Amino acid sequence: MPNPIITGTQIAYYTICHRKLWLFSKNITMEHTSELVEIGKIIHENSYSRKRKEINLEGIKVDLLEAKRGVIHEVKKSKSLEESHIWQLKYYLYYFKQIGIEIEGIIDYPKIRRRERIALTEEDISKIGGILFDIQNIVDEDTPPPIIHKPYCKKCSYYEFCYC
């Protein structure tokens, strides 16, 4: 059985910023009031409203499962953090593979009408093993990793925490 303690969100944050991953993993949360977050929520709530079927298994929170076709979907608002979206979905494919379910992954960007098919390779499986190990080490640290000083910081919910 794969490690259910590490969530898809942690995998995504690992690819964005290790400090963000650490803060989130320590349950340090900030107010989510930005317009971008609101837009994201609206897209999320309105996409697939008729055939929406979420699944949530101990940190594996998939936006839509098409059980008959064996496809899981993640719905995202833009491609600006595409790398994190890809690894989050690859982690879900990895999780299902570990429990004996071969499944296909699709990332949907309804706002820009794009769809990306995501496959899990043997190389990915080995990389995910390394990522899980790294995440555990980061989370086990008593102090957060340094501020990354990237343009993304201005959109991050921890911006005030890091920069005030």
Q: Footprint of ligand SF4 on this chain (CB under 6 A)? A: 17, 19-20, 23, 147-148, 152-153, 156, 158-159, 162
Give 119: exposed, middle or buried? Use CB within 10 Å, 0-12, 13-18, 19+.
exposed
CB of 7 to ligand SF4, least distance (A): 17
Give 162: exposed, middle or buried? Use CB within 10 Å, 0-12, 13-18, 19+.
middle
CB of 120 to ligand SF4, least distance (A): 27
Contact 84, 12 (CB under 8 A): yes
CB nearer ligand SF4, residue 12 or residue 120 = 12
CB of 28 to ligand SF4, least distance (A): 10
Give the other-Cβ count within 10 Å of 63's Cβ.
20
Q: Which residues contact 86 (CB under 8 A, 6 or more apart)?
A: 107, 116, 118
CB nearer ligand SF4, residue 73 or residue 85 = 85
Number of alpha helices (DSSP H) and beta strands (DSSP E) in the chain: 6, 6
CB of 20 to ligand SF4, least distance (A): 4
Give the other-Cβ count within 10 Å of 140's Cβ.
9
CB nearer ligand SF4, residue 71 or residue 157 = 157
CB nearer ligand SF4, residue 82 or residue 104 = 82
CB of 132 to ligand SF4, least distance (A): 20
CB nearer ligand SF4, residue 100 or residue 151 = 151
